[in-house]
Amino acid sequence: TQLLEQSPQFLSIQEGENLTVYCNSSSVFSSLQWYRQEPGEGPVLLVTVVTGGEVKKLKRLTFQFGDARKDSSLHITAAQPGDTGLYLCAGERMNRDDKIIFGKGTRLHILP
Amino acid sequence: EAQVTQNPRYLITVTGKKLTVTCSQNMNHEYMSWYRQDPGLGLRQIYYSMNVEVTDKGDVPEGYKVSRKEKRNFPLILESPSPNQTSLYFCASSLGLAVGEQYFGPGTRLTVT
């Protein structure tokens, strides 16, 4: 059972367009993280969201945590080729077993 | 420089030959974890450790062992590797109060023939 479902799996868009990727679950998370991973490298943490309804901005990236803390979204404005990569969401469930669950990721390709 | 290091980065071995992948962090983090990443399956947690001498199974612990004798080191041991353990392995660390905010190592690509 995949506890964190990410969609879409793949996305290829032109430079300058906007996009949104999603991370959904039926479980409640105490916190949720977004990472970006480039080929041959480990994931790099982008942001952590903790409070239901929280919105965080990182330059052209906007992250939102759902009110019920079961889902999150990442919106990129005016995508650039440097945004290309695998975007992963991960979370720590409310049961506090200290396990971390990862989604399978959204592979994003920005065409110049 | 704050970092997580793994060694080796690449390893090709044969079925049954015991191996150890080392992981070390210099950030005094309490939480350390091992993951494997496979196409179509994503990142899956193998083992994690909340502190020295405290380790727990993740979602896919079968065939692996870990130890946490020092805070900075968290080696992954494959006592008898099998081909289904061919994968890309990542070590990660984080502060104990924010276990989800992890710093990842560069990865170890393991091939078991």
User: What count of Cα atoms within 13 Å lies in the side-chain half-sphere of residue A77?
Assistant: 7
Q: What is the pLDDT, as a whole number, of residue B53?
A: 93
- pLDDT beyond 80 at B98: no
Report the percent of chain B where pLDDT is more than 70: 98
Q: What is the pLDDT of residues B31-56, one digit of tens each?
A: 999 999 999 899 999 999 999 999 99
Position B77 confidence tier, pLDDT thresholds 50, 70, 90: very high
Q: Is the pLDDT of residue B97 over 70?
A: no
Quick one: pLDDT at residue A99?
81
Predicted confidence at residue B89, as pLDDT, reads 98
For residue B48, what is the nearest residue in chain A, using CA coordinates?
A: A99
Q: Which residues of B touch A (CB under 8 A)?
A: 4, 31, 33, 35, 40-45, 48, 50, 56, 58-59, 90, 92, 98-107
- Chain A residues with CB within 8 Å of chain B CB: 31-33, 35, 40-45, 48, 88, 90-92, 98-105
Which has the higher per-residue pLDDT, A93 or A85?
Answer: A85
On the question of pLDDT at A96 being above 70, the answer is no
